[in-house]
Amino acid sequence: MGGSALILLDTHAWVWWIDGSAELSRKARAAIDAAVGDKAVSVSAISCWEIGTLAQRGRLELTMTPADWIARCEALPFLTVVPIDARLALRAADLPPVHKDPADRLIVATALALGTPLVTKDHRLAGYGVTTIW
């Protein structure tokens, strides 16, 4: 299934995909698998912060440190971590108050800026006009 466009993974989708979790929907897994073949999977740098924070609070258990987990993901040839720059930060700040979580707002701003679908279980994020896959 070649020719798929770039996709952006929400933090939970990223973790569930790497973990092989059944929590990830079939449609989401199929979209990610297609993007892997095209080396077109991306995540926002804010997801790295979320993973570190969740692990520190005991809300996410990894088999290694968050730094090692993220480093292994960054080494994957098909995955890109999209940095947060001033343009993305301001775009997130300008979003309407559909969702108050700053990390989610940055993830949505990233998807909008890249013009890419967002793989997320959070259907509220579609309220920003971003295409979601679940």
For the chain, domain boundaries: 7-133
Mean pLDDT of 56-63: 96
pLDDT at 1 over 50: no
How high is the pLDDT of residue 98?
86
Mean pLDDT of 20-36: 96
* pLDDT, mean of residues 76-91: 97
CA distance 102 to 108: 10
Percentage of the chain lying above the pLDDT 90 cut: 93
7-133: CATH topology: Rossmann fold (3.40.50)
The structure's pTM equals 0.94
Neighbours of 27 (CB within 10 A): 11
As a whole number of angstroms, the distance between CA 127 and CA 80 comes to 25
